Amino acid sequence: MELSSFNPNFESKVAQGTALPQEWLNALRSGSKQALAKAITLTESTKEDDRQLARTLVQHCERTGSSLRIGITGVPGVGKSTFIDQLGTFLIQQKNKKVAVLAVDPSSGRSGGSILGDKTRMAQLVLNDAAYIRPIPSRKELGGVASGLSEAIVLSEEAGFDVVFIETVGVGQSETDVTELVDVIVFLLLPNSGDDLQGIKRGIMEEVHIVAVNKSEGDQLMAAKKTKMLLDAVLQIMPGPIEVELREVLLCSAETGQGIAELWTAVEQLQQRLNDSSCLQENRKQQKVKRFHRLLNQMLQDSFFQNPTIAEHLVQVADDVACGKIDAYQAALNMFQQKK
């Protein structure tokens, strides 16, 4: 699996900001990881010119949708990064795949931090030519983490990565956003989580395709088996995504690699079913429509709050609402109509 090297001519053009979109696309299509890294950086730039170029690239990508997009979720410390490291390495070595990992980075704004953490947890992949690992900031602006991820997925596909993993932070909005970007969601649990199954968010379970108890090795194995039994029962009454039949709970150990090949078999079987029933394509269509609505919402909000008249009066009106001078509904309506 040869990966092209970064063309020095292109590199200097990128540095000077003179590389043309076609040159960017050629570099991506040659499989250059450096070009991919720089293209993703463009999507994160605060400069409008960079973002415009990034959007042009994304719009002209020709391999969009060519990868299997897999979300890995679960509480902090359950072993998501270690699991991706094992499964990714298995896919490269046994299935001749190229693997991209986009890790949602909750420490955006801070440098270092979990970026380093994730890379050290993916010690095998980080050294592998056929893998690319990239933290994606969980930003609030620019359409949130979903926008950044969605562009990074498309660019990774253009660079020839045929499996894209998305590691979530396991909590909050970014987890929900991720469900709108991936084809398959794998949910990892700890061996002793049987007792607090109540605590597992119903919302996310309804989106999950494959459930696995990680760290199922050594003296944890008994607890893992018990959790599996409980989960098997729970999942019978908790509906999953419409296209999935009964979800079986798998046992694995990201550390020893046990159960990883079996888990991939389950993913392949699922992928086959999703393809045969056109669910995969249908799901992606719906995801695009959701994204369109979300972006439109965001743009409407931004244009409203950036309006100078609104900005000028907002604090005063909020004060008036607080001390009962005006009712909240009427105040909102007044402001809204003033905008128009």
Ligand X SMILES: Nc1nc2c(ncn2[C@@H]2O[C@H](COP(=O)(O)OP(=O)(O)OP(=O)(O)O)[C@@H](O)[C@H]2O)c(=O)[nH]1
By the criterion CB under 6 A, which residues form the site for ligand X?
74, 76-82, 121, 170, 214-215, 217, 253-255
Stretch that binds Mg ion, among 78-86, 126-134, 145-153, 262-270 (CB under 5 A): 78-86
Interacting partner of 174 out of Mg ion, ligand X, none (Cβ under 5 to 8 A depending on kind): none
CB-count exposure of residue 198 (10 Å: 0-12, 13-18, 19+):
exposed
Q: Helix (H, G, I), strand (E, B), or coil: what is residue 171?
A: coil
What length does the chain have?
340
Q: If residue 309 lies in a helix (H) or strand (E), which one and from where to where? A: helix 308-322
- Using an 8 Å Cβ cutoff, are 158 and 28 in contact? yes
Q: Which residue is nearest to ligand X (CB)?
A: 79
CB-wise, 53 or 186, nearer to ligand X? 186
Residue 180's Cα: distance from chain center in Å?
9
Task: Tell me which residue of 257, 247, 221 sits closest to 85, measured CA to CA.
Answer: 257
When asked if residue 73 is in the footprint of Mg ion (CB under 5 A), the reply is: no
Give the pair of three-digit tokens for residue 102.
């986009």
Residue 205's Cα: distance from chain center in Å?
17
d(CA 328, CA 340): 19
Interacting partner of 253 out of Mg ion, ligand X, none (Cβ under 5 to 8 A depending on kind): ligand X
CB-wise, 65 or 117, nearer to Mg ion? 117
- We find the least distance from the C-beta atom of residue 90 to Mg ion, in angstroms, to be 18
Interacting partner of 177 out of ligand X, Mg ion, none (Cβ under 5 to 8 A depending on kind): none
- We find the least distance from the C-beta atom of residue 257 to Mg ion, in angstroms, to be 18
- We find the least distance from the C-beta atom of residue 52 to ligand X, in angstroms, to be 33
- We find the least distance from the C-beta atom of residue 97 to ligand X, in angstroms, to be 20
d(CA 179, CA 168): 10
CB-wise, 243 or 255, nearer to ligand X? 255
104: left (phi over 0), alpha (psi -120 to 50) or beta: beta
Stretch that binds Mg ion, among 40-48, 81-89, 182-190, 267-275 (CB under 5 A): 81-89
CB-wise, 159 or 166, nearer to ligand X? 166
CB-wise, 157 or 175, nearer to ligand X? 175
Contacts of 159 (CB under 8 A, 6+ apart): 28, 29, 31, 32, 33, 35, 36, 100, 132
When asked if residue 81 is in the footprint of Mg ion (CB under 5 A), the reply is: yes
- We find the least distance from the C-beta atom of residue 46 to Mg ion, in angstroms, to be 26
Binding site for Mg ion (CB under 5 A): 80-81
